[in-house]
Amino acid sequence: MKTAKKKNNLKWYIGAALLVVVLVVVLVVVKNSRKYEVQVTAEKAATRTIIETVVANGKIEPALEVKISPYISGEVVELFVREGNYVYKGDKLAKIDPTLYVSNYEQVEASLNSAKANMANTKARVAQADAQFVKAKVDYERNKKLWEQQVISDSDWEAIQATFKVNEAELTAARESLKGTEYQVKNAEAALRESRENLNRTAIFAPNDGTVSRLNIEVGERVTGASQFSAGTEIMSIANLNAMEVKVEVSENDIPRVKLNDTCLIEVDAYLNRKFKGYVTEIATSANNIGVSADQVTNFEVKVMMLKASYADLINDENKISSPFRPGMSATVDIQTKSVNNALSIPIQAVTTREDTSSMRTSAKAKKDTKGAAEKEVYIEYVFVVEGNKARLHKVETGIQDNTYIQILSGLSEGDEVVTGPYRAVSKSLKNDDTIEKVDEEKLFEQTKK
């Protein structure tokens, strides 16, 4: 029994010793591997002008575009313009079949004439009733004196009184009838004005100068007039192509940084390797996708006016459309929201974030809430500064950034050399005090490619 127990103890000691040896070997290998040089690229911190931008995409539209809809319904019998034509205010654009409106105008005009004739007849009746009333009044006053003098009998006086009242009532009725015919004439006149207006509206005229940017109908098509419940058929649009703007969508995360009159650089897909200038003229106060699903990105519309001077060389007055831009063209806008001159800066890719594992952080860990939720991790921005052949981890505070460089507010001095690549090394694998070898970017790329 004792011999067996000794053998078991011996096996356990041997196993433990082997495990220790394996751990030592692993540690040695890891330690030695840390001594291998990591090839990196580096760049010195320098002062630059940093311009922070918000990038947004959208479409080019005329700053002023009027949509033309008819007031009346009917068939389009004539078109006097084509898409792309330039028109002046008052130019005739189209004509709707006037046959029905001419007939209606003639009917209303006839009704007006009938009402006027009826009114003239009623005036004659009023004049007649007035004359009869005057005669009855004279007879009434004369016979009243005779009755008072008992020259005429009571029955004759009562007959005279009745005749006077009848003539008075007839005059009142005739005057009221005249008022009615006058209202009929006014109503007929109003109907005639409306009918005449509808007839005139069969011809559609340009409300302002501009280019016919969109033509939606052809001769022979039927259109619907505008009403209280409908905007009617949009037959065409007239736009001022001398003033163009870009309507872009800016996310809710970026919209607080955008201000009116912010300078903008505009890239149009149709004109590669060229940037145009503009400025912010309007910022929506409400999101353009209210009521959509919760996972939908919330955007706000921003209007950017394009400066004509930035594309003056592209304008050709001999073309059908002199403007180099067409409504609906795609564009990308860089809205310059903030600018800092002489800012200490380094390439963006040189900055990495690592979890804060300092003793201060450890002692100040947040307690778990009553539900047992995990504490929130805290990450700090760092850069690797080149010191000889070592990479030293430095904590930094950053400011604004552009597409290439980021401002350093603290943690570095001008001339400090920082590691800029490769990305995987800066963001994950590189550690403080690692041995490094500076190489050109081309060489690093070749090594990575291999």
Question: pTM of the full predicted structure?
Answer: 0.66
Q: What percent of the chain has pLDDT over 70?
A: 84
In whole angstroms, give the CA distance from residue 419 to residue 43: 7
Q: Tell me the β-bridge partners of 42.
A: 419
d(CA 430, CA 138): 127
Interval 218-244 mean pLDDT:
89
Strand spans (E) along 80-174: 86-87, 92-96
Confidence of residue 449 (pLDDT cuts 50, 70, 90): low
- DSSP for 324-366, written as a single string: S--TT-EEEEEEEEEEEEEEEEEEGGG-EEEE---HHHHHTPP
369 pLDDT higher than 60: no
pLDDT value, residue 293: 53
Tell me the mean pLDDT in the region 61-74.
Answer: 92
Cβ contacts of 360 within 8 Å, gap of 6 or more = none
Beta strands in 63-157 (DSSP E): 65-68, 74-79, 86-87, 92-96
The Cα 418–Cα 109 span in angstroms is: 91
Amino acid at 445: F
Amino acid, res. 205: F
CA 10 to each of CA 7, 22, 170, 171: distance values in angstroms, whole numbers, following the listed order = 5, 18, 144, 143
Q: Integer distance in angstroms from the first to the last C-alpha of the chain?
A: 63
Calculate helix-pair angle for 154-200, 99-148, nearest 10 degrees: 160
Q: Does pLDDT of 227 surpass 90?
A: no
pLDDT the model gives residue 229: 81
pLDDT score of 399 more than 70: yes
Q: Name the amino acid, one letter, at 341.
A: N
Note the pLDDT tens digit of each residue in 172-225.
Answer: 898 898 889 989 999 999 999 999 999 999 999 999 999 998 899 999 999 998
**Residues 100-117: tens digit of each pLDDT:** 999 999 999 999 999 999
Q: Which residue has the higher pLDDT, 80 or 34?
A: 80
| 316-341 average pLDDT score | 87
The two three-digit tokens of residue 1, written as one number: 């029994």
pLDDT of residue 298: 86
Q: Which pLDDT belongs to residue 364?
A: 44
Band (129; pLDDT cuts 50, 70, 90): confident
* Rounded mean pLDDT, 1-7: 51
Peptide bond into 62 cis (omega under 30): no
Question: pLDDT-based confidence at 142, cuts 50/70/90?
Answer: confident
User: Is the model's pLDDT at 61 over the cut of 80?
Assistant: yes
| Domains of the chain by start residue, with CATH | 53-61+243-339 (2.40.30.170), 67-97+202-238 (2.40.50.100), 100-200 (1.10.287.470)
pLDDT of residue 21: 62
pLDDT of residue 12: 63
| Contacts of 377 by beta carbon, 8 Å cutoff, 6+ apart | 355
Q: Which whole number is the average pLDDT over 28-49?
A: 74
Mean pLDDT of all residues in the chain? 85
pLDDT at 317: 75
Extract the tokens encoding 255: 């919209």
Q: What is the pLDDT of residues 270-299, one digit of tens each?
A: 998 899 999 999 999 998 865 455 567 789
Closest by Cα among 312, 242, 287 to 63: 242
Window from 1-5, 260-264, 397-401 with minimum mean pLDDT: 1-5
Helix ranges restricted to H, 150-260: 154-200
Q: What is the pLDDT of residue 294?
A: 57
335, 260 contact by CB (below 8 A) = no
Residue 36's pLDDT band, with cuts at 50, 70 and 90, is low
Q: Tell whether the model's pLDDT for residue 409 goes beyond 50.
A: yes
CB 241 within 8 A of CB 210: yes
